[in-house]
Chain A
Amino acid sequence: MNPFTFPRWANKTRQLAGVVIGVAPVYLTALVWYGFSPKTTDAGYQPKQPVAYSHALHAGQLGIDCRYCHNTVDRAAHAASPPTETCMNCHARVRKDSELLAPIRQSAETGAPVQWAKVHDLPDYVYFNHSAHVTRGVGCVSCHGRVDRMAEVAQLESLSMGWCLDCHRNPAPHLRPPAEATNMSWQAPSPTFGAEFKKANNINPPEDCSACHR
């Protein structure tokens, strides 16, 4: 009787098992590290908007300030999406027959708001206050990127909690005079500007849970 339960090639599985045990944890770690990261799953979100509105044209080429449309950003927690009337301030005269603006005209006629898609959407258990950031010297560009170069807005950053904390723990590189908050191309006059500004204005971002989760 053959005393062996398994055929000879079964010995090969031992080496194979060694390789699997060595490689699998590395592979799984890498997979989760990159695959489950909000940088992979959340950054790059670019929903289709109901109107082909170009930030690159309006904010970039024409140089309209962010606050012309998002007018609550320095006074309220929420940065408002503009009502159709804001569009019509210009488009009642400018390109008033354009095919692309048909939904805007329709909205103005019926009073039904345009259903803009929210791009930067934080979870409901996070209380983010735009005015607290903008008036203390965090520019739009720090979180939203060069919106003035985007034809269609995409989310560039991960907006994860760790990403928020990165800045709350080390805010200096992201600070600027509040008057320059909406300036997309502002450059710090000196490498130590942020640290000096932080000290002068006593900027100490909170890191406790209840700062954002109330």
Chain B
Amino acid sequence: MAMAQSPFDLAPQGENAFARITHNVARVAEVSKPPRGWYIAFGIALSLLSVFGVSIGWLFWQGIGIFGNMNPVFWAMPIVNFVFWVGIGHAGTLISAILYLLRQNWRTAINRFAEAMTIFAVICAGIFPGLHVGRPWLPYWMFPLPNQMSMWPQFRSPLEWDVFAVGTYFTVSTLFWYMGMIPDFGTFRDRSTTKVRKMVYGLLAMGWRGSSRQWHRYERAYLILAALATPLVLSVHSVVSFDFATAQLPGWHATIFPPYFVAGAIFGGFAMVVTLAVPARQFFGLKRIITVGHLELMAKIILATGMMVGYAYSMEFFIAWYGGNDYEMFTFFNRALGPYAWSYWCMIFCNVVSPQVFWSKKMRTNPWVILGVGVLVNIGMWFERFVIVITSLSRDFLPSSWGYYKPTFWDFSLLAGSFGLFFTLFLLFCRYLPMVAMAEVKAFHPSAHGHGDEHH
């Protein structure tokens, strides 16, 4: 079979464990041709990206009337997609900051591309608020810039807090991601065989020499960034949840929202990490670095956060009953039994039922089962936002204003297109940037701790 000739099927070369790690990771960016799977995936991603471009172009030309948004569902798919993508973007910083501070050394195998995933997801998320503002050529009005109108954004609105929360998160995540790559860029530069690669990776490495002073400062900076990023992991999705929780609408007006949203974001984020990690380790021969053990740990986190999300779902029902508010009670009956019950039960199946397979060790050590659950959880988390936004808005206090929202073709094409953008960026990252934090993996390799032999 032609696939068998792929250089990624061969064992990595090198005199010792460190050299083999370098070779294993660096060859992804160094081989003249990536595996065929990469080309197929990249082709699909580019097609979807062009769907995104056409959809945005049509939106600019035609206006937001192309969305299915209607009275009373004024917030619809753009907000659902925004919250979905921001949620995905939570695992990266959790892995790189919180797990770092908690000394969870296994994170080193997956942190780099979880961070990349975070950044690309936040880029996708950031596009949707800009698209749905009505005049999508004026998204900079969301920022408090001095202007000839003497107008400022509404600082009392959680939507404005979102701008700062997501903006800060994107900035810190990008800094964290880039700074972490500097030693690996140095490796790439030193292994470069062509002038262009040497120059490009050399520029990105910013003069990294690997001296002990540089390492000392690097470690300090990494610690500071980790400390800065840690509160952000919790704050960003809390602020996103305020978009709903500060409103009076039944089903939105709940104090459980911030922790519920953060747990859901970590849940969805880890699901996306495994969705990307399983094919990536397969295509690029990284199974020795991203091991089944790593996948199993992530499956455990998915199981744990999935249970938290399930707890939040049931607690919403409990409070609706315990609070004794007719409107609140109706909203939750309506979610489970009303016209959108299909989306509610789809969410319950994907988010609460499907992760339960991870109680079995056999299941949580099978990469393809993990991939399947990861995909289901991604679908479920999208439906969670759909359920929250659509069911609450479509049937609120006044039965005479009830309606049934149906997304249009363009709502779906924008969602599909955002996946195109996400996967295009991710596949380019896989091909050209160090996908695994080589330096960090080596730091926690057994042979880095004076044991000498590599057979731990």
B10 at the A/B interface (Cβ < 8 Å)? no
Tell me whether A161 and B151 are in contact (CB under 8 A): yes
From A5, A37, A161, A166, contact of B198 by CB (8 A): A5
Contact A162 B147 (CB under 8 A): yes
Chain B, range 134-159, C-beta contacts under 8 Å to A: 146-151
Closest to B205 in A: A5
B206 → chain A closest CB, angstroms: 9
| Chain B window 183-202, contacts with chain A (Cβ cutoff 8 Å), 1 for yes, 0 for no | 00000010000000011001
Total interface residues in chain A, CB < 8 Å: 12
- Which chain A residue shows the least CB distance to B151? A161
Instruction: Tell me, rounded to whole Å, the shortest Cβ–Cβ distance linking A208 to chain B.
Output: 12
Q: Give the CA-CA distance A162 to B149 in the complex, in Å.
A: 4
Inter-subunit contact B202/A5 (CB<8 Å): yes
State whether A158 touches B148 (Cβ < 8 A).
yes
Flag A155-168 by CB within 8 Å of B: 1 or 0 each: 00010111101100
Q: Contact residue range for chain B?
A: 10 to 19
- Is the CB–CB distance between A161 and B148 below 8 Å? yes
Determine the main DSSP class of B at the interface with A.
loop
Question: Measured between alpha carbons, how far is A5 from B147 in the docked complex, in Å?
Answer: 46
Measured between beta carbons, the chain B residues less than 8 angstroms from A38 are 148
In the bound complex, residues from chain A placing their C-beta under 8 Å from that of B198 are 5
A162 and B148 within 8 A (CB):
yes
Proximity bits, B204-242, A CB within 8 Å = 1, else 0: 000000000000000000000000000000000000000
Indicate with 1 or 0, residue by residue over A75-104, a CB within 8 angstroms of chain B CB atoms. 000000000000000000000000000000
Docked-complex contact B148 and A5, CB < 8 angstroms: no
User: What residues of chain B lie closer than 8 Å to A161, measured between beta carbons?
Assistant: 148-151
Residues of chain B within 8 A of A166, CB atoms compared: 150
Is there contact, CB below 8 Å, between A5 and B189?
yes
Query: How far is A165 from B151 in the complex, measured between Cα atoms in Å?
Result: 10
How far apart are A134's CB and chain B's nearest CB, in angstroms?
Answer: 24
Interface residue? A68 (CB, 8 A): no
A92 CA / B198 CA spacing, docked (Å): 85
A6 at the B interface (CB under 8 A): yes
Q: Which chain B positions have C-beta within 8 A of A163?
A: 148
Measured CA separation A163–B149 after assembly (Å)? 8
> A160 near B202 (CB under 8 angstroms)?
no
Residues on A with beta carbons closer than 8 Å to the beta carbon of B150: 161-162, 165-166
Instruction: Give A152 to B198 CA distance when docked, in angstroms.
Output: 65
Tell me whether A5 and B199 are in contact (CB under 8 A). Answer: yes
Q: In the complex, which of the residues A5, A38, A160, A165 has the most CB atoms of chain B within 10 Å of its own CB atom?
A: A5
Cβ contacts under 8 Å, B146 to chain A: 33
| Interchain residue pairs with CB less than 8 A apart (25) | A5-B189, A5-B198, A5-B199, A5-B202, A6-B199, A6-B202, A33-B146, A37-B148, A38-B148, A158-B148, A160-B148, A160-B149, A161-B148, A161-B149, A161-B150, A161-B151, A162-B147, A162-B148, A162-B149, A162-B150, A162-B151, A163-B148, A165-B149, A165-B150, A166-B150
Interface residues of A (CB under 8 A from B): 5-6, 33, 37-38, 158, 160-163, 165-166
Q: What is the interface of chain B, defined by CB distance below 8 A to chain A? A: 146-151, 189, 198-199, 202
Q: Please name 11 further chain A to chain B contacts, defined as beta carbons within 8 Å, in addition to the given A37-B148, A38-B148, A161-B148, sorted by A numbering.
A: A5-B189, A5-B198, A5-B199, A5-B202, A33-B146, A160-B149, A161-B150, A162-B147, A162-B148, A162-B150, A165-B150
